[in-house]
Structure 1
Amino acid sequence: MPTLLQKHEGYLTGHCLVAMPGMGDPRFEGTVIYLCAHTAEGAMGIVINRELEEISFPDIVGQLGIPPTPFCDDIRVQFGGPVETGRGFVLHTSDYQNEGTLSVNDSMALTATLDVLRAIASGDGPRRVIMALGYAGWGAGQLDGELKGNVWLTVPADRQLVFETAVKDKYTTAMGRLGIDPRLLSENAGHA
């Protein structure tokens, strides 16, 4: 039985949005967003290519009373989007699940509970993670309108793009998968 998060005709759950140059919103310029949900009711995603230099993962878990361990050292904290920026979201491989986990598809999931942070610190967490503060959200029909207005391009997502590509290279890699050199795109949207 299909869930709301499975890809339905016209919906892009499990894909990435790639910001068009000159989109006009500095919060999203040059971003790649992994869409965790896209339905008729709206959309939700995590920016996967904007690190927050001033915040570390060991600091976050420590503030939450979870002792930082060496398992925490290599995890970088990302700006996930402008909504609920004080709340943490962990985008991860589907090898970790708990009752608060939202399965996006067969290979990706999203968890926003302390349990996943405890599991990561103890070495029992998912194989690959992106820790994000905040998320990107759209109301019913809002993202669809932005797509029609040429604000975003879409590209299928996979573990390599989301977890293995260097943060600084995700935008050009995503554009390259579409056969596009972002330096050649016009900042002015138009319709043929």
Structure 2
Amino acid sequence: MNETPNAGNVLIAEPFLGDPNFERSVVLICEHNDEGSFGLVLNNVSKNTIADVVDDIYVEFPLFIGGPVEQNTLHFVHRLGHLIEDSIDLGNGIFWSGDFESVKSLLSIGSIKSEDIRFFIGYSGWGAGQLKNELAQNTWFVSDINSDVIFEEYTNQFWRTVLKRMGGDYKVLANYPVDPRLN
């Protein structure tokens, strides 16, 4: 399914990708147009929590590294579009961004569970035509995804899980070792 991605699709790194920023990554595409693409790596958990980077948030929700670009920025995806104003609907129950003050308020009263939101520092970005070129080189697989997979799957095996769900040859690739020379 190596097609042009839409917002709400994921890019799954092919198993031989040599870029350490994206090795075995699954990237949620939040925006894709002629000017470029913006996404968030779903399976790169940092050692910090959201409470470590935002002073007035006290929950210990995991903080993910969304990509190598501007790691001084904070982003979030969630499945609470009805609760968070200005959320961008990516489809399949996935929402990107929204009013951060609302998020902080909802966190402070316990109305948001960790399985309903993911916070990211940094993002993944591609300039005009860059992602199209990478797709032509078979660097990424493109797939649909739903909120249950994003928010409920164990992140350590996330890359494998997403490939297995795609079935067929992708299921075989999911079991490919990180370094085949060690087999």
Given the two structures, how large is their TM-score scaled by the length of structure 2? 0.82
Matched, 1:26 2:26: no
Cα separation, partners in 2 of 1:154 and 1:106, compared to 1, 3 Å: closer
Counterpart code for 1:144: K
Other-structure match for 2:74: 88
Contact 1:96 1:125 in 2 (8 A): no
Other-structure match for 2:31: 37
- Root-mean-square deviation (CA, aligned residues, Å) is 2.4
Which aligned pairs between 1:22-171 and structure 2 lie closer than 5 A? 22-53=16-47, 55-62=48-55, 66-68=56-58, 72-73=59-60, 75-93=61-79, 94-99=81-86, 101-105=87-91, 107-111=93-97, 114-115=100-101, 116-125=103-112, 128-171=116-159
Q: CA deviation at 1:186?
A: 10
Other-structure match for 1:172: 160
Q: CA deviation at 1:106?
A: 5.8
Cα separation, partners in 2 of 1:42 and 1:184, compared to 1, 3 Å: same
Q: CA deviation at 1:159?
A: 1.2
Q: CA deviation at 1:110?
A: 1.5
Q: CA deviation at 1:36?
A: 0.8
Q: CA deviation at 1:11?
A: 3.7
> Structure 2 unaligned runs (5+)?
none
> Deviation digits for residues 50-93 of structure 1, max 9, x if unmatched?
1101x12222232xxx151xxx23x2100111111111101111
Q: How many angstroms apart in 2 are the aligned matches of 1:67 and 1:120?
A: 7
Contact 2:68 2:123 in 1 (8 A): yes
Q: CA deviation at 1:161?
A: 1.5
Cα separation, partners in 2 of 1:185 and 1:145, compared to 1, 3 Å: farther
Contact 1:45 1:136 in 2 (8 A): yes
Cα separation, partners in 2 of 1:67 and 1:23, compared to 1, 3 Å: closer
Contact 1:88 1:112 in 2 (8 A): no
Q: How many angstroms apart in 2 are the aligned matches of 1:40 and 1:185?
A: 35
> Deviation digits for residues 11-38 of structure 1, max 9, x if unmatched?
4211111101221210000111111111
